[in-house]
Every structure is written in structure tokens, then in C-alpha cells.
Amino acid sequence: MRGSAMTETPTRPERAVALRAVRDATKPQPRQLVRFAFYRVDPAWRRLDPTIRAAQRQEFLARLAQHEGRLLLRTYSLVGTRGDADLMIWAVTDEPDRLHAFFADLNGCALAGYLTPAHSYTAMTKRSIYVDRQRPAAGRGRDRLVLAPGSQRFLFVYPFVKTRNWYQLPAAERQRMMDEHIAVGRDFPTVKINTTYSFGLDDQEFVVAFESDSPADFLDCVQALRDTDASAYTLRDVPSFTCMAMSPEAVLAALG
């Protein structure tokens, strides 16, 4: 019996592995800084000589290519879906300096002289306390700290602010309403949500970005979410943007 008990005692390497697992589970996880940058092109740019416009597009594309390995970049066209913006760049990184360097580099392009920032939203990834409490499986909160955009055709983006009364509700009541909200969202599996947080970083509290191949599915999802109890605590969720995923070349070609 004594010998059996000795064999069940964790060895030093096993204890070290267990301690590392505890540290990894409790230490802060890296979070990503996110920016949704919307631009409108000056009509004067379309009146430039075609060879000048072509050269400016190539310069802009070259600057994008230089930074693609340093941060996650996705480009979208809003031509045909929005009147005050023509293109959007979704930039994601865990290094704020890289985000600054990228947009500073774009500002040095000749084309930037004809681009007006129409809207801009800065946010960060963060664990959702409502989803984690509902499904506290190990690793789920950690996964939401890293954005993984899919290949869907459309991205629907809007800033979001809740009423102050929401934060005064008991935690259990907020969880109940969010459980309902989450359950309704799961009825639309073709719509993927990316929630990022802006408390103190920008004017809004959240930025939500939904990916889907079907604008109709997204419309129906949002309409269904309006019927949930949590919707009563929405202070602002505009403006809303319908963005079409395109290569940088296609996005710039659509400018004219």
C-alpha cells in the first residue's frame, strides 16, 4: 500500500506542468487593437488624368502591401451601399505602434490628399462576461481576444452604446436578457458577430461587425434582436454600414 501511494504522488516535472497550466489560465491574455476606418473620395480626384489616378492607386496599394505582414488588414467597398463613404479598412493588431505606423504611412500617399475620413471607430477585443457565464468552457473567452475574419461577402458595422440604466441592473437580470439575446442570434447561423469594446478609447462603448454572405439574413437577424428585452437598453446603434469585401485593387477601382 505504501508503495502504491508513492506511485500516485505527482513527480516534480508533473507539478511543474500543472503550475504552468494554472499560470497560463490566470495570466492576462494579449488583446488586439482594432480600427474601422471609413473614407470618402473627393470628386476632384475623378477629374484627374487617368494616368495620374492609376499611379496614385499603385502607390496606395504598395503602401498596403508593405504592412500586410505586420497587422491584419481587410478592405471593403461601400460604393453603392453608403452615400458618405466609399471604402473601409479594417485593421487589427496587438501592437498600437503598428496601427499608428500603417495609417501614418497611408497619409503620405498622393491619393490620401483626396480622401476624407468619413467615420472612424477604435476598439479592442475583450472577453464577453455574458457568453463566458453562459458557456464557461475553457478557452472560449481567450478565443474572443483574437479576431479571425472569415471569407463572407459582406461586413455590417456599427457603433453601439447602451443606456446608463443598463449598468444599474442586477447582474443576474442582465445575464437573463443577454441569454435571450444570444439565443436569438444563434437562430441565424449564417451571421457571425465580432464584438469589440471601446470604453474610454472612443465615443462609443462597442463596435459590432457582423459577417454574412446574405444581407437578407442579417436584416432578419437584427429585426429579431429588436424584440428582445435587452434591446430596450440600447441608446444608440447608428450609423450602420454595409461593406462589401473586396481586394484592395477592386476597392480602389470602384472609386472611379
pLDDT over 80 (residue 241): yes
Average pLDDT, the chain: 89
Q: What average pLDDT does range 215-222 have in this prediction? A: 98
pLDDT over 90 (residue 25): no
Residue 160 phi, psi (nearest 5): -145, 135
Q: Over the stretch 150-198, which tens digit does the pLDDT of each residue have? A: 999 999 999 999 999 999 999 999 999 999 999 999 999 999 999 999 9
Domain ranges of the chain: 33-123+244-253, 127-242
Q: How confident is the model at residue 148 (pLDDT cuts 50, 70, 90)?
A: confident
Q: What percentage of the chain exceeds 70 in pLDDT?
A: 84
Distance CA 213, CA 208 (A): 17
The model carries a pTM of 0.85
CATH ID of 33-123+244-253, from 3.30.70.1030, 3.40.50.360, 2.60.34.10, 3.10.129.10: 3.30.70.1030
Q: Name which of 116, 205, 211, 198 is nearest 157 in CA terms.
A: 211
pLDDT over 80 (residue 32): yes
- Residues 73 and 64 sit within 8 Å (Cβ to Cβ): yes
- Residues 41 and 207 sit within 8 Å (Cβ to Cβ): no
CATH topology of domain 127-242: Alpha-Beta Plaits (3.30.70)
